[in-house]
Amino acid sequence: MSGLLMNWSSFLLCGMITASLFFFMAGLRELKSLRLEGVFYLTLAVFFGAVHIYYFYNLPVDSPVAYWLSQMNFWDWSVEFFAPAVIILFLVLGLISFGFSRYRAGLIKIFFGLTLVCYLFMVGDAWPADVKGIIALVWSFLWFSVELSSVY
């Protein structure tokens, strides 16, 4: 992961995945509440996902990480881009929930975000990429479950 943090392209790619996941969850939440705005949010999720894929495969050749990113497989991608996006969503939305006096929901989100950080980058630093990728995918399903269950 240290190679990715040296370039702004990696931050942009991670940010687009974060935005795509957020708008996908917001779209599902709005559609679950029978609001038509959910279609707009799902469209934004598809847009950010498509821009991520386009930018990922069309990085400039002279970019410092272009060669390294071209050698990535799905599991490496899920650890380097998808997992930080899920971590960011857990922590930021947990802090927002905590700020709006929804302490229980906020603490649960912050706990899951910090647990994912510990599993992937502290305890499981030597684990293979597929194990870390599976953990990131499971945590993303947990994030959707926590976020969608908090609909009033």
Alpha-helical runs (H) found in 3-128:
8-32, 37-57, 66-70, 74-77, 83-99, 103-118
Quick check: 119 pLDDT over 60? Answer: yes
- What average pLDDT score do residues 48-62 get? 87
Structure tokens at 77: 């991608």
- pLDDT at 148 > cutoff 90: no
In this model, does residue 150 exceed pLDDT 70? no
CB burial of residue 49 (10 Å; 0-12, 13-18, 19+): middle
| Mean pLDDT score, 81-102 | 91
pTM: 0.86
Q: How confident is the model at residue 2 (pLDDT cuts 50, 70, 90)?
A: very low
Amino acid 6: pLDDT: 57
